[in-house]
Amino acid sequence: MISAERVARRPPKPDDVCAERHYIARCPALSTAMEAAFRFPAGIIRAMAGFRFAARRPMRSLDIRSERFPLARAFTISRGSKTEAEVIVCTIREGGHAGRGECVPYARYGETMASVRSVIEAVRDRIANGIDRQALLGAMPAGAARNAVDCALWDLEAKLSGRPAHLTAGEPAMGPLTTAVTISLGSPEEMAEEARTRADRPLLKVKLGAGDVTERLRAVAGAAPDSRLIVDANEGWLEADIEANLAAAAQCGAVLIEQPLPAGKDAILRKIPHPVPVCADESVHLAGDLPKLKGLYDAVNIKLDKAGGLTTALELRRRARSLGFGVMIGSMVGTSLGVAPALVLAQGADFVDLDGPLLLAADRSPGLVHDGSVILPPEPALWG
């Protein structure tokens, strides 16, 4: 009887070697290490097993692009003005499919176009090796960069599987949504004129600062009497004026007030009446922020760029609802590509503020379809 040890040490027969060499000749991707391993069958088996694993592993490519879109008119809030939307588009390709995600770097959160590109670039190898959305949460910090990658992965998953992103997100159907349309901060006369041109819009978002709050609100309300008003101070109000400003908003029929005071300097909101519901924006990024906001705010504004993508934003929405907060879904000023995944999140929201594409001189193509303030669900060619 021949022992197993002797079989393992037996030199390979000529026919065996020829067969192995013929296989390698047809598979040039096998490493030269296998050529050196021909006299050691066990080494060949291990090398071929590694080759088969590598062949199954999805290899992906990453493209990062900076893009600029002029606005139809200057966009002004309490922190300053802008005349163009600066966005970063992340495209992840696998085979013949491509997934895209867009983000808007935001200076308020310490982000620049260069810094966000750098954060995305840092995970290039992990993207190439097939990182999934859950692993991404530990590989990148929350913020605009992760949003672009996360949304690109959602889109790629939908393209590869043929399953729409909204189904994967747990939304059985996508319906049209009515968005607020923004009135930029200006003089009372300027804001009234802009409101008159948008008086047919059912929901207007009024940007305010520290001064002339009552005058500006009355001007807009008078110019668009049939529109509901959301007031957004972008942290611009003063604690000394907060109660008077809340009362003025209530008198003008406002239905919501966003972030009246700076994040972290809003404790007074726990001590005073809210004649109009108050919504956190800059104060909330992730689900972990919610417990400390109880008693301060009545609602939260969820944005993909703050939360770091649709994956974490869905959890933030779930937690917010469980804690009794109203939900508003907003976005930075960007194109339809940035808004499309937010439409999944916005299904069933109390307020929708996704008018970024409407503020552009020209949106990207293909883009979202609007019927006035109504946004139709995105086509797969755009996202999801």
Question: Which residue numbers are catalytic?
Answer: 207, 303
188 preceded by a cis bond (ω within 30 of 0): no
Q: What is the spatial distance between Cα 99 and Cα 97, in angstroms, rounded to a whole number?
A: 7
Contact 83, 71 (CB under 8 A): yes
Which residue is associated with the tokens 């726990």? 270
Q: Indicate the SS3 state at residue 217.
A: helix
Length of the chain in residues, anyone? 384
Q: Please, which residues bridge with residue 64 across strands? A: 90
Q: How far is CA 340 from the centre of its chain?
A: 9
Angle in degrees, CA 161, 152, 282, rounded to 5: 135
Torsion of CA 184, 190, 195, 196, to 10 degrees: -160
Contact 300, 328 (CB under 8 A): yes
Contact 278, 254 (CB under 8 A): no
Q: How far is CA 140 from the centre of its chain?
A: 14
